[in-house]
Structure 1
């Protein structure tokens, strides 16, 4: 396929579209609420009303407002329906023919939607994730063609560097610098790995991208392969994401069919093969060296660095590892330019970030916002605040992050600001807590998670997380003393400073942040004074 054929296919697909498109969410969350039954009845209603000449029903990915699903959206009217059931679905089609719709009509201009800035999720909820033609009709794979025929690998790396994009997996390492490092490494064989092992409790950003717009990720990976000199890519996805895996498999097959993946991409000398590797659900495999061990067929244990994967990674070859959201930014950077992308966000945190907004909040779901927005804008305006009461804390960064008190809600959401107050961006989990939440319970919940997910290779993480969990349990039972809190805090720093990988290094963060901002809750749970003396 050449450029003319790509553009002709896009135009042909656009010309076939009906004047009215009924988008029905078929992502995992909505499927759990029987959105497949909703779509089936939407199709039946189109047939019954004889509106097939101007109305088409399209199964799409996540629209974001997960707490109100299943969602159905009508284009071009931009009408949104919430909590649609199979029984009420047909009335939506009848409403297009002059009838009345039974489902609740949502507000597409609600702050939850209006405050978002969609870059990665630009086509989520609009493109059919199981049809490459639909993606191409929206401009898909034009960025890949552009780099192959108009740019050198060096200029691609420079464009990504100039954009200011930082890794969205949690660490925030400059993406262009990582690409440049791998590109400079000698060797005939290099690899690209997409880390889709999203394991944070409450996080589902990467799953949603893979389910909603898989070709966007594949295009980003292929561009990266061209830029660093790699001909083979792997997508590592946890087994708990069967729909994402299914849609990725179909997307890869379709890419091969059109000559966009595989040998001689777009009739160029560039080859790029993509395979999927399915993880068994170990949280530690989100760490890049453990992930590599798993792809190679071994146990997912981290290994000491250096050497880093950029030098010796998969099968000892130079390897580029980025997460799903990072790759999903690449096509837009190439199409619209580094200057456009770097104009979004803050000086040191460019672009947008996707968050899974969950917890004690009115409006939960996926949001994509520009870096630099405040936590208050996200929680109170977009999220609608706590249903009954006030916000007590916001936990960001998953088990690796921290709990931010309500007094710091005016903090801007960017890499450096969150680290400064004892939390981190992480992959994008954001859990809101109300006044009824016990922060000591929260700390124990995350420590229980880390205790269960440690690979056990290094002693500080293997035994330290168990001891920290024991301390927290002792405190919650009212059996601890002030001395126990001092010992627990010292242990936190020991685990952070001596663990082998990021799991252990960050596991104490929820404990340390709750001690920093909510220490009175710990003190209230200590042993009561006996004989007028406070136990130590």
Structure 2
């Protein structure tokens, strides 16, 4: 395996949680010497030239996102780091913050200078208590060293960072639900527009970025944006921190250039499939449509390739599944998760995800009926474009791929019901019955 430049994971295992160690590894070197000699627009141009795209799932160009934030609104500009990380199969941000918290702080200083912000909030998943402790310790060190607070590094620029602990709701990974939660309101998504860049936290311009996105910035400023861009694909520069879990020999966090073949990630990074032959991969977390073994053989881990295969890159969380598993059972587990995590604000999501899970659960329990697959396909087809956020599509969207590529798994379980050929008895419908 060729040596890979480690943009975000290069300090893993080196004790970079301590500020003195981090500085010896090159940390904070470009803050006073380079960053503060650049204008806001020069910094944004620097990021745009790097080709950095958001690493949280949407893949929106970071520099372009920053350019949408108004500079003269008369309101403070806030930066919010989405460290909620609730997507199934995703665990990279937890490791990044635990191993290298100062890289996140340095990245936030760069972002704050570019956006003219004086305050940032790291919205951290509530269960990540050791991670929160690590962040707070690093913040105290950064304040003591003069990298945060009033008049950073002898300049007139002041900047503060606060860690906010969430309460474990998956829906708060959606940026407007996160902002509501940050404000102390119910964690439910907002209608857009207005978008957070114009009216976000406390109705002020707010830029929401993923942990990995922010942590990529120090490397880009230590080198050149073109050097970062050439490591990835023509439409997305740099490396990506991948989570690989499931039926592999060495599950874990791995950094590789965007565009790396999927089978290289599985065989060379994660040690190969265990317990059976490869059956499927969820390439970007639990809300992605699965790829079968044939598709995995030709897939590359980047936005465009996976989109062309009618799935998505997502958070880069690869869940590897061998041929000992039934895909209908896997979809049932996901159905339980998404129906439970619906915030209940939109009827199609609140009732639809519950109904999908109920049908799936009956199939898995040997109570399925002929026509259940078609019923699920019809039901999930009505989710698109009718809810405030895409949570319902996280379950409904992949149903078509599961049932088309692995129909035999569903039919096998349905056949266990002696009465599977009889029409399904329609129960009286009551809103909320599936909660």
Equivalences for 1:341-360 in 2 at 5 Å?
341-360=228-247
Match of 1:276?
A: 163
Alpha-carbon contact 1:385-1:391 (below 8 Å) kept: no
340-349 or 185-194: which moved more?
185-194
Alpha-carbon contact 2:89-2:286 (below 8 Å) kept: no
Q: 2:337 aligns with which of 449, 463, 476?
A: 449
Q: 1:299 aligns with which of 182, 186, 200?
A: 186
Q: Deviation digits for residues 464-507 of structure 1, max 9, x if unmatched?
A: 11011012122223433343222211211212331211222323
Task: Check if 1:518 corresponds to 2:419.
Answer: no
Give the total of aligned pairs: 423
419-428 or 304-313: which moved more?
419-428
377-386 or 205-214: which moved more?
377-386
- Partners of 1:312 and 1:147 lie apart in 2 by 31
Match of 2:323?
A: 435
- Partners of 2:287 and 2:322 lie apart in 1 by 21
Equivalences for 1:40-119 in 2 at 5 Å?
116-119=4-7
* CA 1:499–1:222: 2 relative to 1, 3 Å: same
Give the Å deviation of 1:382. 2.0
- Partners of 1:148 and 1:421 lie apart in 2 by 40
Match of 1:72?
A: none
Give the Å deviation of 1:296. 0.6
Q: 1:134 aligns with which of 7, 16, 21?
A: 21
Q: 2:148 aligns with which of 261, 264, 267?
A: 261
Structure 2 residue runs of 5 or longer lacking an equivalent are 425-435
Give the Å deviation of 1:530. 8.8
* CA 1:469–1:139: 2 relative to 1, 3 Å: same
Give the Å deviation of 1:531. 11
Match of 2:97?
A: 210
- Partners of 1:146 and 1:504 lie apart in 2 by 48
Match of 2:12?
A: 124
Q: Which TM-score applies when normalising by structure 1? A: 0.76
* CA 1:157–1:115: 2 relative to 1, 3 Å: same
Give the Å deviation of 1:356. 1.4
Give the Å deviation of 1:238. 1.1
Structure 1 residue runs of 5 or longer lacking an equivalent are 1-110
* CA 1:146–1:532: 2 relative to 1, 3 Å: closer
Match of 2:368?
A: 480
Task: Compare CA radii of gyration and give the structure with the larger one.
Answer: 1
Match of 2:52?
A: 165
- Partners of 1:117 and 1:378 lie apart in 2 by 15
Equivalences for 1:265-414 in 2 at 5 Å?
265-409=152-296, 410-414=298-302
- Partners of 1:148 and 1:263 lie apart in 2 by 17
- Partners of 2:79 and 2:277 lie apart in 1 by 45
- SS of match in other structure, 2:162: strand
Q: Which TM-score applies when normalising by structure 2? A: 0.92
Alpha-carbon contact 2:70-2:198 (below 8 Å) kept: no
- Partners of 1:532 and 1:265 lie apart in 2 by 70
263-272 or 387-396: which moved more?
387-396
- SS of match in other structure, 1:266: helix
- Partners of 2:419 and 2:403 lie apart in 1 by 28
Alpha-carbon contact 1:162-1:342 (below 8 Å) kept: yes
- SS of match in other structure, 1:168: coil
Q: Deviation digits for residues 14-68 of structure 1, max 9, x if unmatched?
A: xxxxxxxxxxxxxxxxxxxxxxxxxxxxxxxxxxxxxxxxxxxxxxxxxxxxxxx
- SS of match in other structure, 1:516: helix
Match of 1:498?
A: 386
Q: Which has the higher contact order (CA 8 A, sep 6+)?
A: 2
419-428 or 466-475: which moved more?
419-428
Give the Å deviation of 1:298. 1.1
Give the Å deviation of 1:532. 13
Give the Å deviation of 1:401. 1.2
- SS of match in other structure, 2:300: coil
Match of 1:221?
A: 108
Give the Å deviation of 1:415. 1.1
Query: What RMSD in Å do the two structures reach over aligned CA positions?
Result: 2.0
Alpha-carbon contact 2:369-2:420 (below 8 Å) kept: no
Give the Å deviation of 1:220. 0.8
Match of 1:471?
A: 359
